Every structure is written in structure tokens, then in C-alpha cells.
Amino acid sequence: MLTSPPSETKALCDASTQHSDSPAPEVEYFRLDDPRHFELLREWSRLSWTTIRKSIDSYNPVIYHECCFSFSRRGFAKKAGHCEIQSASVLKMPSLKAIQGHEDLFKWLLDRMKLYQRLGRKPVFPAINRYHADLEDESEDTEKQIEHLGKRCDDLQRELVTLQSENKRLRVDNGRLLESSQSWCQRYHERAETVQTSPEKHRWVETSPLFSN
């Protein structure tokens, strides 16, 4: 069940500032074409960064769950049911570890959402302490991702073939230019040597464009 943006905003903000292991409210899908959602995400990032930063400073960093696009305190994570292979401490993820403030967090979350959309996965608002949930039919979602990645792979393969062909053509052109340059240089030196030994040397030098200023 999806909630409206205003009510979800309050719930998200409450969840981000709570200090117990109580669960966050139900998810709301994020719309990348809705400016309001961008503002809600920015506000959530501002409030939640304090919680995330404190957990790092106290040597008890929160856990990030890729499966549900959420964070959990360690105590809550043990009972939340998230996929283990899709969960990790924020300090073990270089991109998250590098975050220095709430604006960096906002940009990171937004980039993840855009990636999800490209993979055919509906992005949701993030949360702290949210139970695992099948946000979409997993088999259908996996099939969509495989299909999307297959198409992307085909596109990249075609681009690679085109670039390889262009690179080959440029190498041939470069070889021809180099050969032509070397040939011209050789003829120039041969002509110069001929001039140096010719009886007509001085007269030729005076009139030759090769030695003119």
C-alpha cells in the first residue's frame, strides 16, 4: 500500500530521527519526474545523515540493504529479514564511506534510484529500520533486468565494433601520413645533397623555394 507524499514525509522524518529499534512505515515509490519527491528525499537525507554519522562515530555503523533500499541499526538488522548477500556496513561500501554530508547522501541516493529505473526496477524512498519486503515480484523483476542488461550488452557490442572499425581506419590513415611524410623528407634530403655537390649550386639555391626565406 502506498502512502501520499505528505504523510510519508512525516513518517520518513520520524523514522530518521528515532533512537529505538522500532520499524519504519510502509514504503512509497519514488517518482523521478516529481519535483516534490526530490525535495522529500533531500529533507530525508538531511535528517537521516545525523543518525548515520552518529552510528559511524560510535563505531556501530548502520547496515545498508540493497534489496530494500534501506538502512538498519545492527540490532534491528538481525530481525528485519533482509538478504544477507545484499546487506553490508556503510563503512564497507567505498561509495557510502566517502560521503561527507547530507548533500552527498542525497546525491548518492538519487544516483541509486536512477540506476534502479534504468534496470527496470521501481525506485522507493529510503528508510531507516524497515523490514524486508518484496517490493515487486522478484522473478518478474529479475527477468526485466536480464532483458534490459541483454539489450544494453548488445548496444555496447555494436558500439565496440564501430569504434574498432574507426580505430582501424584512423591507424591506416596515420600510417599513410607517416609514410608520405618520411618519403617527402627523404626526397628533400636527397635533393639538398644534390644541390650541395652541383656546379650550379649557388645559382640554384638563390632561386629554389626550398631555401628561400
Are 22 and 118 part of one and the same domain?
A: yes
pLDDT of amino acid 87: 93
H or E segment and range at residue 79: helix 74-80
Cell of 26: 510502509
- pLDDT, average across residues 143-147: 69
Are 87 and 19 part of one and the same domain?
A: yes
Are 93 and 161 part of one and the same domain?
A: no
User: For residues 120 and 140, is the Cβ–Cβ distance under 8 A?
Assistant: no
Residue 64 in domain: yes
User: For residues 11 and 47, is the Cβ–Cβ distance under 8 A?
Assistant: no
Question: Alpha-carbon torsion 104, 108, 114, 117, what sign?
Answer: negative
pLDDT of amino acid 74: 86
Summarised one tens digit per residue, pLDDT across range 16-25 is: 444 445 565 5
Are 126 and 204 part of one and the same domain?
A: no
Higher per-residue confidence, 140 vs 90: 90
Residue 82 has pLDDT above 80, yes or no: yes
Neighbours of 76 (CB within 10 A): 21
Domain count, the chain: 2
Query: The whole model's pTM is what?
Result: 0.55
Summarised one tens digit per residue, pLDDT across range 41-79 is: 999 999 999 999 999 999 999 999 998 899 999 889 888
Are 37 and 113 part of one and the same domain?
A: yes
End-to-end CA distance of the chain, in Å? 85
